[in-house]
Structures are given as C-alpha cells and as structure tokens.
Chains A and B, each alone.
Chain A
Amino acid sequence: MALKIVKGSIDRMFDKNLQDLVRGIRNHKEDEAKYISTCIDEIKQELKQDNIAVKSNAVCKLTYLQMLGYDVSWAAFNIVEVMSSSKFTYKRIGYLAASQCFHESTDVIMLTTNQIRKDLSSPNQYDTGVALTGLSCFVTPDLARDLANDIMTLMSHTKPYIRKKAVLIMYKVFLKYPESLRPAFPRMKEKLEDPDPGVQSAAVNVICELARRNPKNYLSLAPLFFKLMTSSTNNWVLIKIIKLFGALTPLEPRLGKKLIEPLTNLIHSTSAMSLLYECVNTVIAVVWLSVLKYLGLLAMSKILKTHPKSVQSHKDLILQCLDDKDESIRLRALDLLYGMVSKKNLMEIVKKLMLHVDKAEGTTYRDELLTKIIDICSQSNYQYITNFEWYISILVELTRLEGTRHGHLIASQMLDVAIRVKAIRAFAVAQMATLLDNAHLLTGNTQHSGICEVLYAAAWICGEFSEHLEDPMATLEAMLRPKVATLPGHIQAVYVQNAAKLFSTVLCGQEGAPADSKVAQETSQLLIDRLPVFVQSDNLEVQERASCILQLVKYIQKLQQKDVEVAEEVTALFAGELNPVAPKAQKKVPVPEGLDLDAWINEPPSGSESEDEGRKTKGKAVFAREESRHTKPRYTEVDEKELAKRREVRKAEQANNPFYIKASPSSQKVRTASSPNRQLVLWMPMSDQYVKLEEERRQKNKADRKKDKKKRREKGRQRRGDSGPESEEDITPAHMVDIVTEEMPENALPINSSLTSRCITDVCDIQGNLHDGSQVVVSVIFENKCDSFIKSMEFNVMDSLNSKLQRPEGAGPHDSLTVPFHLPPGISSEARFIFSVQSIVMPQKLKGTLTFIVKDSSTHEKLDFKLHFTCTSYLITTPCYSDAYAKLLESGDLKGSSLKLEGINQPFHHLLARICFHHHFSVVERIDSCASMYSRSIQGHHVCLLVKTADQTVSIDAKCDEPGLLRNVLDEIKLTFSQC
C-alpha cells in the first residue's frame, strides 16, 4: 500500500499537467495527432489511479483535448468522480469538464443528482457556485425536476453571488421543467427588487425572456420595470428592459406614450452605442410608429446622400410608406424616392407613383406626386430615362389629372423632351395631336384649371414638328375649333401661330401630290373662316397674330386661285430648325489662355504708379504673370519675391527710359472683344520712330540676343520681358496675325525726348471672312498715347503677290488708305481693312506704314509695322461631330503629317485649350490623354489633329487636304508651345 502511494507520487512527478500538454502539442506540430493519441493513452493510465490529484489533472487535460475536438465521452464517469471530490480545486475541474462534455444524453448524469444537491447546499459559496454554473450547462429535465426546489431555495440565499446564479439557472429549469414556473414565479418577481444589482440584473434577464414569450401575463410588472428602467445604470440590464417593453407595448398602447420620455432621455444621454441601438430598435418596433417612420425616412434621406446603395435596397419599404395615412410621411417617402431612382428602377417606381396619383385624395398631395414624378424623371438631364416614348406617355397620362396646378410643368417637360430628343418627335407629335383633338376634355370642366397649359405645348409641338403629323389637316381643324377661343390668351396665341405652321405643311402635302388645287384652297378657306374669331380676341397677342396670319392666308388664297404654287414660299416662313442651347453652354467655351476675367478692363482713374504697384503685388496682376512667362519659358509661376524684385528693376528702367509708354488698357479691351467672335487679336504698341534706332541697337546687342535676329516679333517680346512696357499683353502668342512693330529702344540710346509724346498704340484684330474664302478682315485699333491731337492718319501696306489690301475703286495699287478719324489724346478707335488673299497655304508678312500728323508739331510722322498673317489666322473654329469627323478621316483625301513636342508639362486640358484658342481648333472627342480636334480654313480645307500626351511629350498627328497649310499650321503650333 505504502509502495503504491510512493509509486503514485513518483508517477505524478512525471505526469504532464495541462501546461505540459499544451506545450507538447505546440512542439509536435508535424505529428500532432500521434502525439495527442499517446497523451490520451497516458491520460487513460492516469485515470486508472486512485489518486484524485492525478485524476483531476487528467480530466483537466481532457477538457483541453475535448476543446480541440477529441471525443472524451469515455471518461464521463471519471469526470463525475472528480466532481465528487471534496476539495474545491478538484471539484471545479470536474464541474468544468462536465459542463464542457456532458449533454442531456450523457447517462452518468443520473449519478450526479445527489452530488449536485450536496454541493448546492454546501456552506462554501464557491462549491455552490460551481455546481450552479455546471448545472446550467448540463441540466436535464430529470435534474431540473429533482433539483428545482433546491435551486429555488438558493434564490433566497444570503450571498448575492449565489442568489444571482440561482436566479439565472432557474430559467433553464423552467425550460426543462415548466411545472416549476408557477411556484417559483413570485420569488423570481421579488428578485427584481433585490438590493444587489447583480441579482436584479439576473432576474430582469429571466423575466424578460419569459415575458417575451407571453407578454400578456407580464403586463402587471410594467410599473416595476418602468422604475428599474429609470433607476438602473447597467446598460446590459437596460437593454433587456427596453426589449421587454418592446414586447409589452403592442398589448398596451398607453405604455408607448409613457416610454417616450425615458427613451428619449436615454437616447440623448447614453454613450453606449448598444443601448442607443436598442432604444431606437424598440422605438421603431412599437412606440410612436408614425413619428418614427417619419424620422426614419428623414434619416434615410441623409444616408442617401452618402450611401445611396444602402438605401436603395429599402425601395419597397419606402414605396409602402406612400400608402401611409400620414401625408407628411408620404411626402418624405417621395423625397427619398427622388434620390433612389436608377435606370433600372425608374419605370417601376414611376409606375407605382402613377398608381398613387390615381388613388390620391386631395390636390396638394396629388400635385406633389405629380411634381415628384416629373422631378424624378427629369433629374440630371433625364439621366435615368431609357425610353422617352414611355416618358411622353407618362406625361400625357398626367394630363388626365383634373385641377392640378402644374399644367405648365408638364407642358415644359413635353416641350423640352420633344425639342431635345429628336428620335421621339414623331411619337410625341402623334401624342400631342391626340391631346389637341381631345382638347375639349381638358377645357370642358374647369376653365382656369392649370392643365390647359399642356395644350400650349401640344399646339407648339404639333406646329413646329408638323412634318411628323400623320394627318396635319385633322390637327389643323382641331386647332381652329371655336372652343379654343375660351383658352387663356397666351395659349390661343400659340394656337394661331402654329395653325399657320400647320397650314404650310398641309399646303406642302397637297401641292406635292398632284391633287386638285381645290383642296388646297379649301384649307385656306378653313383658316379664313375660323381665324376671325381670334381676330376679335381681347388678347392683343392673339389679335395681332391672327390678323397677320389671316391677311397672309387671304393673300395665299388669291395666289392659289391664280394657280400659283405657293407652298414653298409659305414653308420658307417657318424654315430653319430650332436648336436647343443649354443654359450653361457659354461655360463650355474655354476661357482663352491669358484672359483674366478679374483684371481691369479700364484701369481705375488714378493710374498712379504707386497704386498700380499695389495692385500688382496682390499677385493677380496679369502683367506680372506675363512677364514671368517671357523671362522664364515654360514656367508659369514665379514667386512673389522674385516678381517684386523684377518689378523694381523694371521700374528703375522705366524711370530712366524717356521713351517708356505708360500702361495702356487697350490690349485688354481687344481681348474681351475678340473671343466671342472667334477673332484673332493682334495689337502692337507702335513707336516706329525708333525702328532705325532699334536696328542699330540690335546690331550692338547681337551677341547676347541671337534670337532677335531671326524673328523680330520674338525679340520684341523678349525685350518686353526685360523692360516690360505694360501695354504688352499676355495673349500675344494667340494672335493670328501679328502687326510687328518695333519696340522702344533701351535707354542707352540717345533719343530726343520730345518724341515720346507722339506715340500711338496700334492694336490689330484679324478675322477670316466666312463668306469669302479669299478675304481677311484686319481690324486695327489706334490709340493715341501722347498728349497731342493726332490727325490725318494714313494706313498703307506694301502688297505682295498673294495678299493685297483692298483699296477703293479708282485708287492706285500703292495708295494709302485714309483712316476715317482723328485721335484726341488718350483716345482709341478702330479701323477695318480688308485684304484679299489668294493662297492661304503660306504664312505672310506684310510691311506697312502709318503716317500721321501730330497737331502740335504739324509734321508728318511715320510708323512702320509688319502684318503677320499666320496660317492659323486662316483657320476658323468649326465644330465637327465625331461621326462626320470619322468619315472625313476615312475618306482618304487627307494627307498626314506629325509633330512631336517635348517637355510640355502643362495639363492636357490646358494644352487642348491653347490649341483651341491660339489655333482655332475645336475638340471633337477627348478620351483620357488623347483628343481629336478639327478646324477648317476659310477656303474650306479640313484640318484634323490627333493629340496624344504621355510623359511631357505631346505627339500631334495631323491630316489635312493641303499639306503645305498643314505643315505651316504645325509649325505655328510648335512655336506656340515653345514660347510658353
């Protein structure tokens, strides 16, 4: 025996405990199953021993293995053994194992009844506790029946720890052994008022569960729960109570009202989301149904803005709300629907809404429905409408509504759709004709009902698109019924006007066919018979139109009687298609590069240097920007400091420069005038007295101004960057035609200062003549910048073979043109000169002179300039549709050329805008970083560009039916970008 004990304790030394087992399993990752099976064998050995410590250790390990999914049911009896241990440390292991492994069909449970009863009545509260906990897991109906009394006693135990466990386990007992409920219930109810919050919470749990099964019987507990709800601070308990009220309220509606206050308080005060959620949940379920619905819909509309998808799934629910008795709920639901429509569900939603329109009582709601239907359909430019015929028929159906105030809304929709959706015009016209035919229905009941507005649209559509009418004669007849005279004046006016349009269509049809002219004359007669009603109208508009048309028809009839074919002329009265223009179309016109809409057009009166400077430092100054562009190619922004510094330098220069001409507003003036007309603007400050001096100066500066040699224009600009006469404006590169004049020389040059007073600014604005392929109009703005009156200006250009200044008849080929005005000081005025151009393939430069007399000195002064006709200036921005564009390219008539621009780091859309603006192209299509562009020359050459950009490189593939023109245009494009 002693040996056995010794052996047992030695074994124990080598026994694995739970920690060893866990570690072992972790160390045998590869052969886990094998390792565990040896462990199980060991455990089996251990369980055979008498030592309770060894057994409990083994059971403890089994619990772990059981969790891993191993069947340990074979050890059930050993578990009971350990449970029965008198030591709590072992007992709890037994109970734990039991709670994990036992289930109702475990037969050894039968053996535990007495042991459990013993433990329940143990003086050690933990023994009792562990027994209760275990019992809750494996209680069987038998155990429940046998132990119900014991547990019930424990509900009144002195220790709250036991009480709360007993209360909870009682619920399980009720479930397993329902008979126990009746005797136990009064005690359970007592526990709701237990001084210990834990016990209270347990009781709440149990009773809430019970009550939810059969709420009726628990109504009497409502006041008690109500007290608990307002006093308890335990969120989990509150949640249960609120759940319970959720179950009780349907049975006792008065409860709902009582609950509103505590619930609202909770909602506002709690920080626990779960409690908030439960409150809202309950409130939604029972309390305050209508208000909640309203709030719910309101909340949904908020969610809709951020998470449209999540709301869309509740479409049906929201549609149901349309049936609600409460009008405000219905209106909310309507609001929500507006945001929920998609292409897929639009028709379905509108169909449902139409049903509601029919059912709706009360005009306010019906009108609301009507506007919503139209809003829903028309939102985002009819984005969700896939079938416009359907929409038209919906609109027509809506006209059946009596007494609606929204006739004009329907009418405007009809007009909008019919005008904008060409494809459905035929359908729309047919529908409208039916409407007109049934007009008496509309006007019959209520003279002033808004719905007759629809007739306005109907009449207009039938008239405007009368070519789609199947039987224009019938419609004409319908429009001239005497009853029409009862309609409001503005509608009658439309009727009259469109009757005339219809008349022209009818004439066309009748004369087209070799029918006898009598029919046509009868038509005229119809109008002549019916129109007098309108002539007598008290509405001026109707009267005027009617009498005008009446006279016209009478005249036509006369012609008809003479067998003159009049249809064509009559049709010509209404020729031309009405094209819709989007209200924001203007915005789509790109703002030309360099056009600063915030800049002054006319500078503020003072114009003093200091003020000027102040304005510029705001960084808004266009001049500052321009300067930076010229000094630093491809770099558009210069920091403030540098700008200020440069400004200082420039100012110093200007101060020392006797020839400096002060800033002129003229350039801006021209700019604003130019863009809407697709004109190209060129302007130049001219002070040609200095040309020669300039020439000399250039010689001197040759070394450091190599570029200047090549292009005078370019040089001029560059210098502007340095000395910066502020009259120069930043659209310079855009000009189609440059008048190149020389800049003032540097102050280094000795120049008579008196000359400064005689400066003229000259601004040139050139436009290709659309109607004559060989004409170019050059508008020149002359501005007198000196203090003296300038008169007798004469403008002359040395003609080339290709381009000639058009002179009045009788004038010699070299005569000057007199500018037809004088210029007082500071005044500018515009003169236009027409040039005829033969070939537009090559760019041209024309030399010219302007002579004038300054009044003070009364000597002739001369100003030399150059007119630079670029090829671009012969292009006219012409919109082109992508299909026409594709055909053009397919035709094969065009010859290609290409161009590569490196180091372009401006955004693609800027680039496109530049090309559009400077070179008069329009974008046909743009896909990502690729765009097709089109322009046409004044002589009808097509120029197509395909512009692609990638990594600062822009490649332009171009096609044109005139390769020479194309090459030059491309060169000019290249130049534009090299200057930017």
Chain B
Amino acid sequence: MFWIYSQRKDMLAAISPILGVGYESLLTAGGGRENCPALHDALDFEITMIKFLLMVNKQGQTRLSKYYEQVDIEKRPSLETDVVKRCLSRKKEECSFVEYKDFRLVYRQYAALFIVVGISDTENELSIYELVHNFVEVLDKYFSRVSELDIMFNLDKVHIIIDEIIQNGHIVETNKNRILAPLLALDKMAEAH
C-alpha cells in the first residue's frame, strides 16, 4: 500500500504549488461546511475498489491484465507470476479468497484459465466473486463458448467488455445486454467498412 500513498502524496505535493496551498489543506477542502463533503482522510483511507483484473492460464501466462491502480510496468510481470502462483497453489476445495500483500485476491478458475481480481480490504469479496462469473457469462455470450484462444486473439474486444463492466476500479454495469451494446455497435461499424 505504501507506494500508493507515496504516489498520491507526491502528486498532491506536485499540484499544491500551482494552487498556492499546502496539500494537506487540499485534502480537507470543503470540510466544515454542511453538505460539502471533504476528502480529508484521503491519506489514511483506503479506497474500496478493484485494483486489477488478470486472466492467467495454468502455465502462468498472462492472457489479459487490467490495472486500475498504477503499477510500474517493470513490476507487473513479477506481480502477475506471484499472484498466479498463489492461486495455483490452492486446492480446489479451498476458498477462492487469498490475502496477498496489502490486498485480497478473488479468483475463479474456468478450465485452464484463472480470473484473478485484486481488491482492497474493504471490498466485498463475494460480490467480486459473483462479478467474475458475470464477466465470464458475458464473454460466453459474445464469443459463444469462450475459450482461452478467443481471449488471446480478441484482446481488444475483451478490453472493451471489461471497460463496460468496470471503470475506475468500480463496477459500473452488470447487465449483459448493456455491456455488449457498444461492442456490437462497433462490430456493425467494422462490417460496414
């Protein structure tokens, strides 16, 4: 978690000169006035959110990764292999939640493919667990019986789907038809070409 804080601190420190105020005051901006919410706890308050979503196969190869929190690109592969190792080492009957560093992993296995979601402590694990299945159902609907290869060869489309479901690390849409609407529109456009 430290690096997130430090980044945010850096960021605030960076913009504070522009605004001519200390960044601490930024964090409490609006505090004190009724109906004017403040962000004063930002530094020691963890955002409830999805931090990343990975699709990894049993061999540990990443098939898709989506980060909602900045992770250095050099650190990603090691993080991913580490996460996969954690999930692979667990038996089928063990529960699908793993504590990993400062966040929690919620994973589901579909054939040889693991879908792993990293979430903050305050997120509801079970809702993410259900979300993953919802996501897979959407993929299934679009690709009609989705396979690992579908995901590899249509990475951009899978990304579009994910973007419709999760934005900002928050669940934004769970209705399958609405999730697929933009993608189907896009396909129509491509056909027209």
Interface residues of A (CB under 8 A from B): 18-19, 22, 60, 63-64, 66-69, 71, 73, 88-89, 92-93, 96, 99-101, 103-104, 126, 129, 132-133, 136-137, 141-142, 145, 161, 164-165, 168-169, 171-172, 174-179, 181-182, 185, 198, 201-202, 205-206, 208-214, 217-218, 220, 234-236, 239, 243, 272-275, 277-278, 281
**A243 CA to B170 CA, complexed, in Å:** 14
**A527 CA to B156 CA, complexed, in Å:** 104
**What residues of chain A lie closer than 8 Å to B38, measured between beta carbons?**
181, 213-214, 217
Give the total of B residues in contact with A, Cβ under 8 Å. 65
Q: Name the residue of chain A whose CB is nearest to the CB of B61.
A: A68
Interface residues of B (CB under 8 A from A): 7, 11, 14-15, 19, 26-27, 29-31, 34-42, 45, 47-49, 62, 64-66, 68, 70, 73-74, 76-77, 122, 124-131, 152-153, 155-156, 159-160, 163, 167-168, 170-175, 178, 181-182, 185-186, 189-190, 193
A22 touches B39 (CB 8 A): no
A182 touches B36 (CB 8 A): yes
Further pairs besides A198-B175, A209-B48, A277-B126: 8, Cβ < 8 Å: A18-B153, A67-B64, A104-B11, A161-B178, A169-B168, A179-B19, A214-B31, A274-B127
Contact of B182 among A126, A174, A206 (CB under 8 A): A126
B168 touches A136 (CB 8 A): yes
Contact of B39 among A132, A164, A178 (CB under 8 A): A178
**A168 CA to B42 CA, complexed, in Å:** 18
B73 touches A171 (CB 8 A): no
With A60-B156, A67-B64, A168-B168 as contacts: A214 and B173 at CB distance below 8 Å: no
Greatest chain A CB density within 10 A among B29, B159, B190 is at: B159
**A142 CA to B18 CA, complexed, in Å:** 10
B30 touches A182 (CB 8 A): yes
Q: Name the residue of chain B whose CB is nearest to the CB of A207.
A: B37
Q: Name the residue of chain A whose CB is nearest to the CB of B185.
A: A126
Inter-chain residue pair count (beta carbon < 8 A): 179
Interface CB pairs A-B, < 8 A, 24: A63-B155, A92-B156, A96-B156, A104-B7, A126-B186, A141-B14, A161-B178, A168-B167, A175-B42, A176-B11, A178-B30, A181-B36, A181-B37, A198-B175, A205-B170, A205-B172, A209-B47, A220-B34, A220-B35, A236-B174, A272-B126, A273-B130, A277-B124, A277-B126
**A858 CA to B26 CA, complexed, in Å:** 129
Contact of A133 among B11, B74, B163 (CB under 8 A): B163
Q: Name the residue of chain B whose CB is nearest to the CB of A171.
A: B168
Contact of B29 among A73, A92, A181 (CB under 8 A): A181
The minimal Cβ–Cβ distance linking B147 to chain A, given in whole angstroms, is 13
Top 6 closest pairs, chain A to chain B, by CB: A274-B126, A69-B77, A274-B127, A133-B163, A217-B37, A141-B15
Q: Name the residue of chain B whose CB is nearest to the CB of A93.
A: B156
**What residues of chain A lie closer than 8 Å to B66, measured between beta carbons?**
100
Contact of B37 among A176, A201, A214 (CB under 8 A): A214
**What residues of chain A lie closer than 8 Å to B74, measured between beta carbons?**
71
B172 touches A165 (CB 8 A): yes
**A202 CA to B36 CA, complexed, in Å:** 20
A210 touches B37 (CB 8 A): yes
**What residues of chain A lie closer than 8 Å to B153, measured between beta carbons?**
18-19, 22
**What residues of chain A lie closer than 8 Å to B42, measured between beta carbons?**
175, 213
**What residues of chain B lie closer than 8 Å to A220, measured between beta carbons?**
34-35
**What residues of chain A lie closer than 8 Å to B27, measured between beta carbons?**
178
**A64 CA to B167 CA, complexed, in Å:** 20
**A213 CA to B37 CA, complexed, in Å:** 9
The minimal Cβ–Cβ distance linking A33 to chain B, given in whole angstroms, is 13
**A176 CA to B10 CA, complexed, in Å:** 12
A92 touches B186 (CB 8 A): yes
The minimal Cβ–Cβ distance linking B46 to chain A, given in whole angstroms, is 9
A234 touches B73 (CB 8 A): no
A236 touches B171 (CB 8 A): yes
The minimal Cβ–Cβ distance linking A105 to chain B, given in whole angstroms, is 9
**What residues of chain B lie closer than 8 Å to A69, measured between beta carbons?**
62, 73, 76-77
**A457 CA to B152 CA, complexed, in Å:** 81
B40 touches A213 (CB 8 A): yes
**What residues of chain B lie closer than 8 Å to A179, measured between beta carbons?**
19, 26, 29
**A174 CA to B170 CA, complexed, in Å:** 15
The minimal Cβ–Cβ distance linking B158 to chain A, given in whole angstroms, is 10
A141 touches B124 (CB 8 A): no
B11 touches A67 (CB 8 A): no
B174 touches A104 (CB 8 A): no
**What residues of chain A lie closer than 8 Å to B34, measured between beta carbons?**
217, 220
B11 touches A141 (CB 8 A): yes
A201 touches B172 (CB 8 A): yes
**A132 CA to B11 CA, complexed, in Å:** 21
A178 touches B76 (CB 8 A): no
**What residues of chain B lie closer than 8 Å to A212, measured between beta carbons?**
45, 48, 122
